[in-house]
Structure 1
Amino acid sequence: MKFLIATEKPFAPAAVKQIREIIENAGHETVLLEKYTDKNELLHAVSTADAMIVRSDVVDKEVLDAAGNLKIVVRAGAGYDNVDLHAATANNICVMNTPGQNSNAVAELVFGMLLYLARCSFDGSTGSELKGKRLGLHAFGYIGKQVAKIANGFGMEVLAYSPSLALNPEKGKAFNVTAVQSPGELYEKSEIISLHMPANDQTRGSIDYDLLSKLPQKGIVINTARKEVVNEADMLRIMEERPGFKYATDIKPVNHDKMARKFGNRYLASAKKCGAQTSEANVNAGLAAAEQIVKFFADGDETFRVNPIK
């Protein structure tokens, strides 16, 4: 089988070496496409591939239709909104992600951003401590759980909302987390919110003025999830209305320049999405992707499948 590693933003060389070893030790062939600048390069490479590993690369209907032999795509990371799941199912292609592999990297970034905002971008002015603050986790998956562990170390009070946690609040106790029953309750009871939900039809634009206005005047929102979940116009409005409100995001908003100009050190956006950009996460996600594909071909293992079967 031919395994294509298609990464516009490549894995670290050490990760590529180990990924190739997993693939080739299982008797498969590796094809590497890195730092490509033309979609036609991807279309050509995928045309003869049996399996593909990607990162944030866009795998749309055109790519999937061009892949005559493709049987599986693995997104090395938790989010998979860069892959057209409907087109994959229509083409009988299994799509997987690698949940949990980037969790610690993203969770640590949350606190890097949070400390930056709480300490006024380290400009020498008086900031605030995290100890004793109420942190609300909007979604409670792999990353949310890791954020909770770190927050416990800071002495924060941690609350969380997710549909499954609301149904079974006992699941939060192992992480010293108090479950709440709705997003509205989470925002009313928190001083800081950390976003961890995927982007889908239910979540896009869901972080709106109604929710944001439930936070205190000096509320803080940290977004290491997806740009689309935040209603940017409403975020702009709440920050204009509340001089102490702060926002940090790992995904530049469309109105980034305006927000940077208006809000100074109350606003922070990373130069590019970097939640999973650590050498450790880079290796973890890549190796997990390779191992999942090998198992898929060896015994039909579809444990991490995210698209419906045709």
Structure 2
Amino acid sequence: MYKIGTLNKISPVGLARLTDDYTITENVQEANSIILRSYNMHDMEFSPDLLAIGRAGAGVNNIPLDKCAQQGIVVFNAPGANANAVKELCLSGMFLAARNIPAGLEWAKTLAGTEDVGKAVEKGKGQFAGTEIKGKTLGVIGLGAIGAMVANAAESLGMDVIGYDPFLSIKAALSLSNTIKIVDSPKDLYPQCDYITIHVPANDNTKGMIDAAAFAQMKDGVVFLNFARDKLVNDADLLAAIGSGKVKKYVTDFPNDTVIGKEGVIALPHLGASSAEAEDNCAAMAVDQVMDYLENGNIVNSVNMPACSLGPKKGTRVSVISKADAGVLEKVAEVCDGDVINKVRGEYAYTLGEASGDIDGSAIAGEGVIRVRILK
């Protein structure tokens, strides 16, 4: 019986996928796996019993990936499960900015109790006149699951779309409309776009990438949308760009102390994945991946270990997390008479082996071996 702990509220649709071999525990220190959303795990101490963490969403900034790898804990995420929800909110953000909707809503509230509201509306509505997005140019930085969907949807609404992604996958490329222009550098995208939206992960290479130098290359009056991560934008440079008129509106799903309440900023309360459908999809995907790993040793969509799968377990299976140079493949091959697979990601390796009889896990242990599991 595997014990599953939860942090944050997890969709019942996802948890309902757990079979009778699983029980949910309130004590995460006894859990074999933890399912979570945005809970910050960086200060947590992990039990030796913890084998896997399932993030019901895409971003994993709240999980100490290196620490987990060092302790043989596989971390999964759910890429693409919330893509449609974020796409729809991003499109909403463009409309909010284009039509000056937030300011119009606030002004309309002030008319409560006014004599002849209809007349007041007709007299004052001109101050909120906006523009249409049809015929405008949208730049999409990052063409993964979300970026590609935004690009296609914007084009279907009559926008010209320019995309940039140095790591464009074959799957993403095939999903894009063939009339979307792809450029080799952001500097080829910035000057052409009336709207720019960013959809890249937050890491050491992308932190603060939207800075004064980037803003300087953009059109005057550009609308910049950030539904990815707040760390991608240099807030001080952003506010300076708004003040100079370079940026007309900044639409973000990540309010913080620097930008909240500032002129030109439309801040939403991190609603990107907050739809019933997205929460169900993310939880279901996280739960399925964790169960497949616990029961079969298969790793799909891990962010700290290599992808590695032998499909459903046929006999006895050995699962080994090790350092890449530990020489585990040979040891596993010696004790298995079935299929053996070994994959490497950075300094870590993952090895799966199958046997028709029992497997001696002690024969595999040694220097550089982090965790050995025998699955029957």
Which bracket does the TM-score occupy, shorter chain normalised? Answer: 0.7 to 0.9
Residues 229 and 21 of structure 1, relative CA distance in 2, 3 Å threshold: same
- 1:170 offset after TM fit, Å? 6.0
Work out whether residues 59 and 201 of structure 2, in 8 Å CA contact, stay in contact via their aligned partners in 1: yes
Higher RCO by CA contacts (8 Å cutoff, separation 6 or greater):
1
Paired residue secondary structure (1:287): helix
Residues 48 and 166 of structure 1, relative CA distance in 2, 3 Å threshold: closer
Work out whether residues 3 and 22 of structure 2, in 8 Å CA contact, stay in contact via their aligned partners in 1: yes
Cα distance in 2 for partners of 1:290, 1:169 equals: 25
Q: Tell me, which stretches of 5 or more residues in structure 1 are unaligned?
A: 33-44
1:116 corresponds to 2:96: yes
Cα distance in 2 for partners of 1:167, 1:186 equals: 21
Cα distance in 1 for partners of 2:251, 2:148 equals: 20
* Aligned position for 2:29: 47
Paired residue secondary structure (1:164): coil
Residues 20 and 302 of structure 1, relative CA distance in 2, 3 Å threshold: same
Work out whether residues 145 and 175 of structure 1, in 8 Å CA contact, stay in contact via their aligned partners in 2: no
**Partner deviation per Cα, 1:213-249 (whole Å, 9 max, x = no partner):** 2221110001001111100010011000117611010
Work out whether residues 32 and 50 of structure 2, in 8 Å CA contact, stay in contact via their aligned partners in 1: yes
* Aligned position for 1:210: 213
Cα distance in 1 for partners of 2:293, 2:172 equals: 35
Work out whether residues 208 and 234 of structure 1, in 8 Å CA contact, stay in contact via their aligned partners in 2: yes
Work out whether residues 47 and 67 of structure 1, in 8 Å CA contact, stay in contact via their aligned partners in 2: yes
* Aligned position for 1:2: 3
Residues 88 and 244 of structure 1, relative CA distance in 2, 3 Å threshold: closer
Query: Partner amino acid for 2:231?
Result: E
* Aligned position for 1:42: none
* Aligned position for 1:77: 57
1:28 corresponds to 2:29: no
Paired residue secondary structure (1:216): coil
Cα distance in 2 for partners of 1:26, 1:301 equals: 20
Cα distance in 2 for partners of 1:194, 1:256 equals: 17
Cα distance in 1 for partners of 2:22, 2:242 equals: 53
* Aligned position for 2:337: none
Paired residue secondary structure (1:193): strand
Work out whether residues 4 and 49 of structure 1, in 8 Å CA contact, stay in contact via their aligned partners in 2: yes
Query: Partner amino acid for 1:268?
Result: I
Q: Which structure dedicates a bigger proportion of its chain to helix?
A: 1
Residues 161 and 106 of structure 1, relative CA distance in 2, 3 Å threshold: same
When normalised by structure 1's length, the TM-score is 0.86
- 1:121 offset after TM fit, Å? 2.0
Paired residue secondary structure (1:135): strand
Pairs aligned (count) = 283
Name the larger-Rg structure. 2
* Aligned position for 2:39: 57
Query: Partner amino acid for 1:74?
Result: G
* Aligned position for 1:128: 131
Query: Partner amino acid for 1:224?
Result: F
Cα distance in 1 for partners of 2:288, 2:278 equals: 15
* Aligned position for 2:281: 284
* Aligned position for 1:296: 293
Q: What is the root-mean-square deviation of aligned Cα atoms in Å?
A: 2.1
Residues 201 and 101 of structure 1, relative CA distance in 2, 3 Å threshold: same
Residues 291 and 179 of structure 1, relative CA distance in 2, 3 Å threshold: same
Paired residue secondary structure (2:284): helix
**Partner deviation per Cα, 1:107-131 (whole Å, 9 max, x = no partner):** 1001111101100126232211111
